[in-house]
Amino acid sequence: MKYIVGIDEVGRGALAGPIMVAALAVQSGRRFNRKVKDSKALSPRNREKVAKWINEVGLCYTIARVYPALVDRINIARAADLAAYRAITRLSKNLDLKNGDISIYLDGGLYLKSKDYQDNSGLRARTVIKGDQKYNAVKLASVVAKVNRDRYMTRLSRFYPGYGFHVHKGYGTKMHREAVRKLGPSKVHRLTFVRKIRSISKRNGRRTS
C-alpha cells in the first residue's frame, strides 16, 4: 500500500510552549467527501470538527513536541526539524513504511536533515513551499498539529495562571507581553524569545494544581 505523508508544525513563533509537529498519512489516490483546508483557513471550532473527522475516518498520524528548554539550547529551526524527525520516525514504525511505499512532503521551513534518519530508513522527503496549500496530507497534518497544541496550551493555563495561555496560545500578543513583564517568564517560556521584553530577570516557577 502506498502513502502520501504530510508533515507540518505549529508554534514556531510563540513565546511559550512547545513547538509541535504532526505527520499524517493518506493512502495514495484516496478521495475525501469534503473539501480539505489547512488550519489557517479554518476557525477554531471548524478545526476541532476536522480533527474529529480525521479520527473518525481512521487516518493515521503521530505528533511530536520539542519543549522550551531544548528550543533555547538548540534554536527554533533545529527544534522544529527535530520534532519533524521524531514524528515521521514514529509514523513509519506504526505503518511499517518502506522506501517506494511513501512520498513525504514537509511544509516549507521544515527539513529532515538527520543523516541517520536517511541512512537507516531509506525514506526520502521533500520540503515544499506552501505545502499546506498544495497537499491534502500536509493540510490535515496542520490541523492535527494546531488543534493538539491549542489544547495543550489551554491545559497549561490552569498550571500557570495569569499569562492567558488559553487565549493567545503562547504567542506574543500585547496581553501576553504585559503578563510577562508583570509576572516574569514561567518555566514554559522560551527565554531566547522573551529577552527583548523589558523588566524580565528570571523565570517564574510558580505552578498551581
What pLDDT, on a 0 to 100 scale, did the predictor assign at position 116? Answer: 47
CA distances from 102 to 7, 50, 105, 138, 191 (A): 13, 24, 10, 14, 38
**SS3 call for 76:** helix
Q: Please list, in sequence order, all residues whose beta carbon lies within 8 angstroms of the beta carbon of residue 104, skipping any fewer than 6 positions away.
A: 5, 7, 88, 112, 123, 124, 125, 126
How far apart (Å, rounded) are the C-alpha atoms in residues 139 and 142? 5
**Do residues 121 and 89 make contact, with C-beta atoms less than 8 angstroms apart?**
yes
Record the pTM. Answer: 0.89
pLDDT at 202 over 70: no
Band (100; pLDDT cuts 50, 70, 90) = low
Express each pLDDT in 180-197 by its tens digit: 999 999 999 999 999 877
Tell me the pLDDT band of 62, cut-offs 50, 70 and 90. Answer: very high
Mean pLDDT of the chain: 89
User: Given a cut of 90, is residue 122 above it in pLDDT?
Assistant: no
pLDDT per residue as tens digits for the range 71-90: 999 999 999 999 999 999 89
Taken in order of first residue, the domains within the chain and their CATH numbers are 3-156 (3.30.420.10)
Q: Are 88 and 124 in contact (CB under 8 A)?
A: no
- Over 60: is that where the pLDDT of 44 sits? yes
Handedness of CA 89, 90, 92, 93 (dihedral sign): positive
Work out the average pLDDT over 2-18. 96
Banded pLDDT at 101 (limits 50, 70, 90): confident
Mention every residue, 6+ apart, whose C-beta is less than 8 A from residue 207. 159, 160, 187
